[in-house]
Amino acid sequence: MPKLIGQSEEFQGVTYELKEVTIPVGRLADNGLQIEHSSVSGHHAELVLDEQDYKVRDLDSTNGTRVNGERISEQKLRRNDIVRFGNVELLYDSEFSPPALRLPDPSPRESLSDSRSDGRPAKFLNASPVEKPNPDALNKSPWLIAILLLALAAAGGCFYFYTVVLSNGL
């Protein structure tokens, strides 16, 4: 028989056997599965028998319903799913369904000491056909432009001197 087993501190080990076709879940006493917790809405969700297992449907609750950490509106449950009504976590247990698929926690393939400060691995090769500009050359560019402008101003001054001053015969 499917059941929900409390995982949260206040509900640790509390077991709710699921026997009805439709089970309203919420904080109020008129629910088939009453969870007296401030984070659970008065009429929070409902469990509906679907073949041999249940699906959970959120009833636009304030704090939402989650299955394995994902907020849902409706979700079929599988063995070992963690169902969360508000802040109350329950483990779904059923002998009929296969266990929920769990992805392993990602583990780093190389240590942080092997990577550069910009986040790329130390052995990273640039795949771009365009060369990255040399940062030292970019730092010299403003000086080069200033020198060229100064030389251009000097050439303009010389031209003015020769054409205006010398042509007037001073």
Full-model pTM: 0.57
Reading the block at residue 135, the tokens are 């940062």
Per-residue tens of pLDDT for the chain, all 170 residues: 899 999 999 999 999 999 999 999 999 999 999 999 999 999 999 999 998 899 999 999 999 999 999 999 999 999 999 999 999 999 999 987 666 555 555 555 555 454 445 666 666 666 667 776 666 655 667 878 889 999 999 999 888 888 887 777 65
Answer yes or no: are the C-beta atoms of 49 and 57 closer than 8 Å.
Answer: no
Identify which of 106, 50, 99 has the alpha carbon closest to the alpha carbon of residue 78: 99
Reading the block at residue 21, the tokens are 């076709």
Reading the block at residue 7, the tokens are 């995982």
Residue corresponding to tokens 């409902």: 46
CA atoms of 85 and 63, how far apart (whole Å): 8
62: Cα within 13 Å, side-chain hemisphere: 10
CA atoms of 81 and 103, how far apart (whole Å): 13
- Provide DSSP, 28-68: STTSSEE---TTS-TT-EEEEEETTEEEEEE-S-SS-EEET
